[in-house]
Amino acid sequence: PVLVVDFGAQYAQLIARRVREASVYSEIVAHTITAAEVQALNPLGIVLSGGPSSVYADGAPAFDPAIFDLGIPVLGICYGFQVMATALGGTVAHTGAREYGSTPVTVSAAGNALLADQPTDQTVWMSHGDSVSEAPAGFSVLASTASTPVAAFANDTRRLYGVQWHPEVRHSEFGQNVLENFLHRAAGIPADWNSGNVIAEQVARIRAQVGTGKVICGLSGGVDSAVAAALVHKAIGDQLVCVFVDHGLLRQDERRQVEEDFVLATGVRLVTVDVREQFLTALEGVSDPETKRKIIGREFIRTFEQAQAELITEAAAIDGDPIRFLVQGTLYPDVVESGGGSGTANIKSHHNVGGLPDDLQFELIEPLRTLFKDEVRAIGAELGLPAEIVQRQPFPGPGLGIRIVGSITQDRLDLLRHADAIVRAELTAAGLDREIWQCPVVLLADVRSVGVQGDGRTYGHPIVLRPVSSEDAMTADWTRLPYDLLAKISNRITNEVDGVNRVVLDVTSKPPGTIEWE
């Protein structure tokens, strides 16, 4: 792999993704990694990320300088560039002058591998206080800005490179090209990592792990569990059984997509557990959001465990071979943020939705553990899964249950499902699925307002539209949908959905609002 060293800002994941966009496999490691640990991983190259601090700050993230002597090509970015300069005998000046945002840079050494084929004048994204004022001995300066004399440097013999700007962000015009130049030209790493390879590698790995064992997988209807299941199925066929829980809080057509489209595309053995009644009963009269979530989580686990127990008994009755493995659709960001992988900082511990109990008696299979979401989608497409599943936007585990403000009843669910289907259809027809991160449709079941329809007075409920744009759901902005589209959605909902006489738009960013209403 190429190692991306995380100095504690959010840049490492973005860099790791950009390296993979250059068809090179990357892994994120903590800045505390030692030269011996690096050697054991045998990387083809190393990228040092940006970071939050000055190299002179108290507690500035350190880095083992012996790593520069391993003969492995290294690219330092921003803070990583300064770490490199300091470690190798250059000078980093604490000028107090800050360079932030789009900045013109002059490339003086377009002949160097790192900046090959790049224009002399270009715009890059800067975000730094300190600057490298003197390159280390043996390094040549490749670029400068008005306030930063050393904006990029190189030592071709040692294959050590650095840039002050952030090539991983789109605001740097030729940023991806800098990364690709480093990977392919300077470090000589081939561009040979792609969906096909990942599938082949995972299939081999799953076969080795499972042998002739039996495997169970819970499908949620979402992208991750679907792709994980399809991969495992490709590897071991009917040794896999999938379980789909219909708790009645799903959106229109989701169960059919899993039961028909997904099964048709993959050929997996699927057991649907219909617990719609059970969930409605458990949720009766409950309107507090946290209580709803707890009940839904508890019932979900109960259902899944019961299904497992039945399948295990069944499997044992057939050939005495119990189910030993459980598939989980864990993604790389979950692993990195939970402090897994190669020892990065523990930012938060992720629970997979419907949180499986601690004392689970299964060995886990997590074929997506090394992948980012867009890579999972690409693999799903390569495996022939339907676009409705592979391109699906995020949908919360507790489903429509947390989009009814008020208590949950069958009628309210049906009403919301109908309104939600209209919104999704119209957003798709308008070609906005990619632009919108997700668009919760919320029923204010405890609110009524007066309206007039035909000749009569109505006293109905409002539907809230919550279209948001986001990179990662941590922050979000409300999406400026075209007025004509909003008008069409509003007309359709008030005309077609009984009981709704008003449609309102949520124009709150996150923070302060969360994406979901509950």
Which of the residues are catalytic? 78, 166, 168
If binding is defined by CB under 6 A, does position 510 make contact with ligand XMP?
Answer: yes
Q: How far is the CB of 399 from ligand XMP (least distance, A)?
A: 9
- Interacting span for ligand XMP (CB under 6 A) from 210-218, 315-323, 405-413, 510-518: 510-518
**How large is the C-alpha radius of gyration of the chain?**
26
Q: Which of 329, 397, 462, 467 binds ligand XMP (CB under 6 A)?
A: 397
Helical H runs in 2-78?
11-21, 35-41
CB half-sphere exposure, 154, CA atoms < 13 A: 20
Identify the bridge partners of residue 442 per DSSP, sorted by sequence position. Answer: 464
Q: How far is the CB of 446 from ligand XMP (least distance, A)?
A: 19
Q: Which of 273, 473, 485, 504 binds ligand XMP (CB under 6 A)?
A: 473
For the chain, the straight-line distance linking the first and the last C-alpha, in angstroms and rounded, comes to: 41
Identify the bridge partners of residue 444 per DSSP, sorted by sequence position. Answer: 405
Residue 96, amino acid = G
Q: Which is nearer to ligand XMP, 291 or 361 (CB)?
A: 291
Between 75 and 104, how does the x/- string for binding to ligand XMP read (CB under 6 A)? ------------------------------
Cβ(368)–Cβ(407) below 8 Å: no
Q: How far is the CB of 353 from ligand XMP (least distance, A)?
A: 4
Closest CA to 443 of 510, 498, 372: 498
If binding is defined by CB under 6 A, does position 438 make contact with ligand XMP?
Answer: yes
Q: Which is nearer to ligand XMP, 380 or 396 (CB)?
A: 396
Q: Which is nearer to ligand XMP, 69 or 288 (CB)?
A: 288
Q: Tokens 């002050």 map to which residue?
A: 164
Region 265-294 residues binding ligand XMP, contact defined as CB under 6 A:
293
Q: Which is nearer to ligand XMP, 73 or 396 (CB)?
A: 396
CA 420-426-429 angle, to 5 degrees, is: 140
344: left (phi over 0), alpha (psi -120 to 50) or beta: beta
Query: How many residues form the binding site for ligand XMP (CB under 6 A)?
Result: 12
- Interacting span for ligand XMP (CB under 6 A) from 269-277, 322-330, 340-348, 391-399: 391-399
* Rounded distance between C-alpha atoms, residue 222 and residue 227, angstroms: 9
- Interacting span for ligand XMP (CB under 6 A) from 8-16, 305-313, 481-489, 509-517: 509-517
Cβ(473)–Cβ(514) below 8 Å: no
**Sign of the alpha-carbon torsion through 467, 469, 473, 474:** negative
Cβ(255)–Cβ(246) below 8 Å: yes
Q: Which of 394, 411, 459, 480 binds ligand XMP (CB under 6 A)?
A: 394
Q: Tokens 């509003």 map to which residue?
A: 490
- Phi then psi dihedrals of residue 104, to 5 deg: -75, 135
The token pair that represents 224 in the structure block:
């991750």
Q: Which is nearer to ligand XMP, 50 or 401 (CB)?
A: 401
The SS3 of residue 182 is helix
Q: How far is the CB of 500 from ligand XMP (least distance, A)?
A: 22
- Interacting span for ligand XMP (CB under 6 A) from 97-105, 282-290, 323-331, 507-515: 507-515
Q: How far is the CB of 474 from ligand XMP (least distance, A)?
A: 8
Q: Which of 162, 396, 401, 499 binds ligand XMP (CB under 6 A)?
A: 396
Region 344-383 residues binding ligand XMP, contact defined as CB under 6 A:
353
Q: What is the 3-state secondary structure (H, E, C) of 231-296?
A: HHHHHHHHHEEEEEEECCCCCCCHHHHHHHHHHHHHCCEEEEEECHHHHHHHHCCCCCHHHHHHHH
Closest CA to 266 of 226, 215, 309, 308: 226
Q: Which is nearer to ligand XMP, 6 or 224 (CB)?
A: 224
Between 309 and 348, how does the x/- string for binding to ligand XMP read (CB under 6 A)? ----------------------------------------
Q: How far is the CB of 435 from ligand XMP (least distance, A)?
A: 16
* Rounded distance between C-alpha atoms, residue 378 and residue 231, angstroms: 12
If binding is defined by CB under 6 A, does position 122 make contact with ligand XMP?
Answer: no
- Interacting span for ligand XMP (CB under 6 A) from 41-49, 358-366, 390-398, 499-507: 390-398
Q: Which is nearer to ligand XMP, 23 or 514 (CB)?
A: 514
Q: Which is nearer to ligand XMP, 136 or 221 (CB)?
A: 221
Cβ(163)–Cβ(141) below 8 Å: no
- Phi then psi dihedrals of residue 505, to 5 deg: -110, 130
Between 34 and 73, how does the x/- string for binding to ligand XMP read (CB under 6 A)? ----------------------------------------
Q: Which is nearer to ligand XMP, 285 or 512 (CB)?
A: 512
* Rounded distance between C-alpha atoms, residue 138 and residue 84, angstroms: 13
Cβ(436)–Cβ(467) below 8 Å: yes
Q: How far is the CB of 262 from ligand XMP (least distance, A)?
A: 19
If binding is defined by CB under 6 A, does position 515 make contact with ligand XMP?
Answer: yes
Q: Which is nearer to ligand XMP, 27 or 224 (CB)?
A: 224
- Interacting span for ligand XMP (CB under 6 A) from 34-42, 328-336, 389-397, 496-504: 389-397
Closest CA to 501 of 466, 461, 464, 454: 461
Cβ(29)–Cβ(336) below 8 Å: no
If binding is defined by CB under 6 A, does position 516 make contact with ligand XMP?
Answer: yes
Give residues in contact with ligand XMP (CB under 6 A). 293, 353, 394, 396-398, 438, 473, 510, 514-516
